[in-house]
Amino acid sequence: MSFYEIDSKINIIPSKCSDPWFWTSAQINPYRGCQFNCHYCDGKANYYGIPKFGHQIRIKRDVIKTLTRSLHKLGYRKKSDAKQKKLSSFLSKSEILEEREILPKFIISVGGGVTDAYQNIEKEKEITKNIIKTLIEFEFPAFFLTKSTLILRDLDLIGELNDRSYAGVNISVGYSDEKIRRLIEPHSASTLKRFEVLAQFREADIPGGISMMPLAPFIGDSDENIDTLLKWASESKAEHALIAGLTLKPGNRELFFKEFLMKHFPQHVDKYKLIFPENNTYGIPKFDKIKIPNVTAIGHELCKKYNIYPRIKRYIPDGVIKENYLLVEHLYYVHYLLSWVNNKPHSYPASRIIKFACTIDKLEENIRDLSEDKREEFLDGPAFCHQIVDEYLKTKDNKIRKEFE
Domain boundary among 244, 275, 305: 305
314 within some domain? no
157 within some domain? yes
pTM equals 0.93
* Domain CATH code at residue 366: 1.10.150
As a whole number of angstroms, the distance between CA 349 and CA 40 comes to 30
**136, 161 Cβ separation under 8 angstroms:** yes
Is the pLDDT at 29 greater than 70, yes or no?
Answer: yes
Residues 151 and 272 in one domain: yes
345 within some domain? yes
- CA dist 334 to 30, 311, 313, Å? 34, 11, 14
Residues 118 and 52 in one domain: yes
Q: Supply the range of the domain harboring residue 392.
A: 322-404
Residues 297 and 331 in one domain: no
What are residue 145's DSSP bridge partners?
Answer: 170
Sign of the alpha-carbon torsion through 272, 275, 279, 280:
negative
- pLDDT 10s digits, 296-330: 999 999 999 999 999 999 999 999 999 999 999 99
343 within some domain? yes
Residues 120 and 199 in one domain: yes
Residues 281 and 341 in one domain: no
Residues 395 and 251 in one domain: no
Residues 109 and 201 in one domain: yes
396 within some domain? yes
Instruction: Report how many domains make up the chain.
Output: 2
Side chain identity, residue 399: K
- pLDDT 10s digits, 154-206: 999 999 999 999 999 999 999 999 999 999 999 999 999 999 999 999 999 99
Residues 247 and 360 in one domain: no
